[in-house]
Structure 1
Amino acid sequence: MSRAIVVGGSFAGLTAGLLLREQGFEVDIFERTPSHLDGRGGGIVLQPDTVRWIAERPHPFGVDDVSIGSTVMRYLGPDNKITYEEPATWRFSSWTTMYRVLLDDFGTDHYHLGEYAVGVSQDADRAELRFVSGRTERAELVVFADGISSVGRRRLQPRVLPRYAGYIGWRGCVPERDVTPETAELINDALAYAVIDNSHICMYAIPGADGSLGRGNRQMNYVWYRNVAEGPELDEMTTDLRGFTAPVSVHPGQVQPRFVDAMRAEATALLPPAAAELIERTAEPYIQIVLDIAVRSMAFGRIALIGDAAFAARPHAAAGTAKAAADAWSLAAALAAHTDIPTALAAWEPERLALGNDLLSRVAEMGARSQFTNTWDPADPALHFGLYGPDR
């Protein structure tokens, strides 16, 4: 039996691990954090590829049991006035909920925590991974699914660097029971937006921290995009309470209080009351630095990059988890079609590169329209979610 090693135990890594095991590989997943990833991240939009594992494999539950649906897209203006609305069917979940589903299916026997991969090499037959702990592992296939700060990308394409988009996302979740009935009703059953000059916020309901789906027990999730100049201003804002400058995100509880206070005051002054209330009542809002990352290659002999380890796209198309899953599904299909692993990876790569570059181009245009040119039009379908294009 051939062996596969997956580096990164998040959404992309777990999906890849499950599908490679189905292909007959002996699979081990190595996650650098010392504990399971429950509680990290906020809401996610469930596009078809995101939930394909649940939809196509036997489970005692369905997609509706781990997500919340919406029927409208709604734009809010001053005094919570609904300024635009149209039918829009989406389902939303939390990152934690989906992580738990995938981890339960993969199991923990071959899911290794606290192992930080630091080096990789390969010969004609196998690839070798080296870890900070001194551990060395060899396998016929290595898949790097280790996210935006991917070690695999840095080792295999060291000249590919993240590009700052010019803005950050303030993110958070607040229990539905902690907001007013008016706010809960405006966001219930909706993908809700508010657009102001050089900024916008996106809001929707997700399962509660314990997975609850019932009204009152859910969470209200949001991301508010704010322009921050690259350089000293960004560096100061993204220095956490320990004194370390974050390259990707400042975690909940680690954002300097003065920036949280200023952000809340700006929300009250600039946003519709419902949006401002979500922000005001979030215990620990956190910062996501919005980045563009695009690789030139995803296949390197017996080594593959998938998900954010290859292409990291701005969140505007809500396609990050969908792309991670789609990369894994297409990789499994290529390995099923070709018995030779390097041949399979070479055949798999071109379509994935094309999709990644197309996605980055689309979300960059979306971001520019909201954050810089003020040409975001709620009625324009080009601004809709979708991995393969608007509403696709």
Structure 2
Amino acid sequence: MQQPRLPKVAVIGGSIAGLSTGIALRCLGCEVQIYEQSPTPLRGRGGGLVVQYEMLDWMASHDIATLATLSIPGVERQFLDRDGRVIQRFPDSTPFTSWDAVFHQLREVFPEACYHHAYECVRLSAAGGQPVAEFASGERVEADLIIGADGVGSVIRRHLFPDVHPVYAGYVAWRGVFPESLAPAEVVETLARRFTMFQARDFHLLSYLIPGEHGELEAGSRRLNWVWYWNTDEERELPDILLDTDGRAHRSSVPAGKVQQRHVATLRQRAEQHLPAMLAQLVHCTPEPFIQVIYDLQTPAMTKDSIAILGDSACVVRPHTAAGTSKASGDAVSLAQHLQAADFDLSAALPRWQTERLAVAERLIHHGWRLARNSGLGK
């Protein structure tokens, strides 16, 4: 029986979505090259995250990582009142990890020779019926299948759906990540192995411990991680807080160390006014808080001809679902499964994959909207 011809694949974007895609397809024998626009290794993006068990199972089955080597297991979830008293507490085994820990585990198993830095994709074209990725350097890469895993600002999505843009959700996430050694012992003790939440009328804050910058899991080497969601007016407030210390205007985030000190001072003042004392301490101990803007994005499709988009390039789910990273990994694994099932016939596999993953995204998007509304957040 003749073996099917395996496609040559170019993945645009080398973060978690791109690496998951590259690994899943290479496991089937596909030739995969990843093109990342950053000239230097990616690090420290986004802080803490929750990895769903489906993604952990996939990583374990491919000898990438296990629950024990990747995350800090939770024991309880607790809710605090304004005075810092625990008003509800129940068992919760949610595994807490970080962007760094997941990324570095994935990056370690993907071949160095197939991962290319400083490749900024600027447009797509076609040659001989195949898609071509064109880069800022002038280089062109032709492939059987081009996959956009280049995030919310995706160049590949703009090529496929030029009228689809991210829509501001009406609020931002202030975030902090720092070594547990910088916080008072009582704060660490209260938060360790617990998912801690404080809910007010129109905001909420959550906190949990995550691995150290290099994946350390032992006490004393971990990091404290918190997220505080605020409603922020798109015209009066948002442009101001997105202007960094160098006067540069950002669109989706202001990185640690670049938030203007007057905004950090306002953050700490609000913490004193509105948070339980222990959580206010947590905010005050954070040397360099950072900001992420919450957007909604939903494309009508995820594939066209021999081009596909996945992860945040295709659909963005609200962070309250704790599913964004796992959704991106699920997109990648599902794509590999459909390609294999269709003997790598792109015309058969891609539409089936798209139908499945759009349905998943639809459910998560609506779930995220409900969670936000219940917390008084957003439009």
Asked if Structure 1 and Structure 2 have the same fold, meaning a TM-score greater than 0.5 normalized by the shorter chain, the answer is yes
- SS of the residue aligned with 2:296? strand
Give 1:56 shift: 0.7
Residue 203 of structure 2 is matched in structure 1 by: 199
Give 1:87 shift: 1.2
* Residue pair 1:125, 1:140 contacting (<8 A) in 2 also: no
Residue 30 of structure 2 is matched in structure 1 by: 25
* C-alpha distance in 2 between matches for 1:195 and 1:263: 17
Residue type at the aligned position of 1:265: Q
User: Which of these residues, 38, 43, 52, is aligned with residue 48 of structure 2?
Assistant: 43
Give 1:54 shift: 2.2
- SS of the residue aligned with 1:80? coil
Residue type at the aligned position of 2:24: L
- SS of the residue aligned with 1:50? helix
User: Which of these residues, 93, 99, 108, is aligned with residue 112 of structure 2?
Assistant: 108
1:351-370 aligned within 5 A: 351-370=356-375
TM-score by length of 2: 0.95
Give 1:293 shift: 0.5
Which sits farther off after the overlay, 93-102 or 45-54? 45-54
Which sits farther off after the overlay, 168-177 or 288-297? 168-177
1:246 has 2:250 as partner: yes
* Residue pair 2:134, 2:140 contacting (<8 A) in 1 also: yes
Q: Deviations over 1:47-93 (max 9, x none)?
A: 0233233211235x622112100111101123321011111111111
RMSD over aligned Cα atoms: 1.5
Give 1:123 shift: 5.9
* C-alpha distance in 1 between matches for 2:333 and 2:315: 16
Give 1:181 shift: 2.1
- SS of the residue aligned with 2:368? helix
* Residue pair 1:72, 1:86 contacting (<8 A) in 2 also: yes
Give 1:108 shift: 1.4
Residue 273 of structure 2 is matched in structure 1 by: 269
User: Which of these residues, 100, 124, 131, is aligned with residue 127 of structure 1?
Assistant: 131
* Residue pair 1:41, 1:95 contacting (<8 A) in 2 also: yes
1:63-212 aligned within 5 A: 63-122=67-126, 125-212=129-216
* Residue pair 1:174, 1:278 contacting (<8 A) in 2 also: no
Residue 213 of structure 1 is matched in structure 2 by: 217
Give 1:232 shift: 3.3
Q: Deviations over 1:296-344 (max 9, x none)?
A: 0101111111000001111001101000000000000010011311321
Residue type at the aligned position of 1:257: Q
Residue 226 of structure 1 is matched in structure 2 by: 230
* Residue pair 1:201, 1:223 contacting (<8 A) in 2 also: yes
Residue 3 of structure 2 is matched in structure 1 by: none
Which sits farther off after the overlay, 41-50 or 300-309? 41-50
Give 1:117 shift: 0.5
* C-alpha distance in 2 between matches for 1:39 and 1:70: 22
- SS of the residue aligned with 2:156? helix
User: Where do 5+ consecutive residues of structure 1 fail to align?
Assistant: 374-392
1:299 has 2:303 as partner: yes
Q: Deviations over 1:236-270 (max 9, x none)?
A: 11112232221111111111110111011101211
* C-alpha distance in 2 between matches for 1:285 and 1:68: 22
1:314 has 2:318 as partner: yes
Give 1:177 shift: 1.6
* Residue pair 1:2, 1:24 contacting (<8 A) in 2 also: no
Residue 324 of structure 1 is matched in structure 2 by: 328
Residue 62 of structure 2 is matched in structure 1 by: 57
* C-alpha distance in 2 between matches for 1:48 and 1:279: 30
- SS of the residue aligned with 2:365? helix
* Residue pair 1:2, 1:140 contacting (<8 A) in 2 also: yes
What is the number of residues matched between the two proteins? Answer: 372
Name segments (4+ residues, structure 1) moved above 6 Å.
none
* Residue pair 1:54, 1:63 contacting (<8 A) in 2 also: no
* C-alpha distance in 1 between matches for 2:337 and 2:355: 14
* C-alpha distance in 1 between matches for 2:148 and 2:232: 31
1:34 has 2:39 as partner: yes
Residue 387 of structure 1 is matched in structure 2 by: none
* Residue pair 1:122, 1:302 contacting (<8 A) in 2 also: no
* C-alpha distance in 2 between matches for 1:369 and 1:270: 19
* C-alpha distance in 1 between matches for 2:246 and 2:162: 28
* Residue pair 2:145, 2:306 contacting (<8 A) in 1 also: yes
* Residue pair 2:171, 2:377 contacting (<8 A) in 1 also: no
Identity fraction in percent: 37
User: Where do 5+ consecutive residues of structure 2 fail to align?
Assistant: 1-5
* C-alpha distance in 1 between matches for 2:236 and 2:158: 25
* C-alpha distance in 1 between matches for 2:74 and 2:355: 35
* Residue pair 2:70, 2:101 contacting (<8 A) in 1 also: yes
Residue type at the aligned position of 1:11: I
* C-alpha distance in 1 between matches for 2:276 and 2:78: 13
* C-alpha distance in 2 between matches for 1:365 and 1:229: 20
* C-alpha distance in 1 between matches for 2:231 and 2:214: 33
